[in-house]
């Protein structure tokens, strides 16, 4: 059982380049989230989705876009990467209703130079 | 907006000893969940323990237990018989209960070192 899988695990971008991070979950979860983790800042929510075809902004959404075309996938896009977006990105998913804890992917370390 | 505060950026403990990590939170809600996540050097986020706000009994999971003080909005994690494998970043997190499943709000983390 794979759980939550993020692709890629590492990436180096040049300023201004674009890229898409893919998150896939095989647990039939309704809810999916993208967080970024920076030293001394904990995890901050970028965007989230409460179901297929829906997305919502989190705490730090600027510079990112997301899409949830399929229930199992949640994509995070950077249209024009900036050095301030150097971070570790985590995807997570959770059930609705009775199961409230989130399951996390292994993270993507992104460096923008 | 809900906030979670971890006032100890770093902590250390001798192997086999007990350590307590602090967490406070701010919310106007009465129904919510609290969590402690562990992040070892592998970066994987691992759920350690969770507490439902409506439960008065403190949650326990083997060597891990919490001291949940709802009125004081405090949620500390106690690790007993510390082991080298407990060395990690620990994050306290909050989730409001209600219609729809709201995202986790995290504290900034406490880095725990275990000294052999």
With an 8 Å Cβ cutoff, are B45 and A92 in contact?
yes
Of the residues B10, B31, B36, B43, the best mutation for testing chain A's interface (the one with the most A CB atoms within 10 Å of its CB) is: B43
Give the pLDDT confidence of B49-65 residue by residue, as tens digits: 999 999 989 999 999 99
With an 8 Å Cβ cutoff, are A48 and B50 in contact?
no
Determine contact: A22 vs chain B, CB below 8 A. Answer: no
B91, B106, B108: residue with CB nearest A40: B108
Handedness of CA A94, A52, B106, A112 (dihedral sign): positive
Chain A to chain B Cβ contacts (< 8 Å)? 52
Residue A24 clears pLDDT 90, i.e. is over it: yes
CA–CA separation, A24 vs A79, rounded Å?
21
Question: C-alpha angle with apex A52: A50 to A55, nearest 5 degrees?
Answer: 50
pLDDT recorded at residue A98: 54
Give the pLDDT confidence of A42-55 residue by residue, as tens digits: 999 999 998 999 99
pLDDT recorded at residue A96: 62
């Amino acid at each position: 059982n794979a759980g939550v899988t993020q692709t890629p695990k590492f990436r180096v971008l040049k300023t201004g380049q674009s890229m898409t991070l893919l998150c896939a979950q095989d647990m039939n979860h309704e809810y999916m989230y993208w967080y970024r983790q920076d030293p001394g800042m904990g995890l901050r929510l970028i965007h989230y989705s409460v179901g297929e075809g829906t997305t919502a902004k989190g705490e730090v959404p600027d510079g990112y876009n997301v899409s949830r075309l399929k229930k199992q996938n949640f994509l995070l896009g950077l249209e024009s990467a900036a050095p301030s977006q150097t971070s570790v990105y985590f995807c997570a998913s959770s059930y609705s209703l009775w199961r409230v804890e989130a399951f996390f992917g292994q993270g993507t370390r992104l460096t923008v130079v | 907006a809900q906030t979670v505060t971890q006032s100890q950026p770093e902590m250390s403990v001798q192997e086999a000893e007990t350590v307590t990590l602090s967490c406070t939170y701010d919310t106007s809600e009465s129904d919510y969940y609290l969590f402690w996540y562990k992040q070892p050097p592998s970066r994987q986020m691992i759920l350690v323990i969770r507490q439902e706000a409506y439960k008065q009994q403190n949650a326990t999971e083997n060597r891990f237990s919490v001291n949940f003080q709802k009125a004081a909005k405090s949620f500390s994690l106690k690790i007993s018989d510390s082991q080298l494998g407990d060395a990690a970043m620990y994050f306290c997190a909050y989730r409001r209960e209600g219609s729809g499943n709201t995202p986790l709000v995290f504290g900034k983390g406490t880095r725990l070192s275990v000294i052999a």
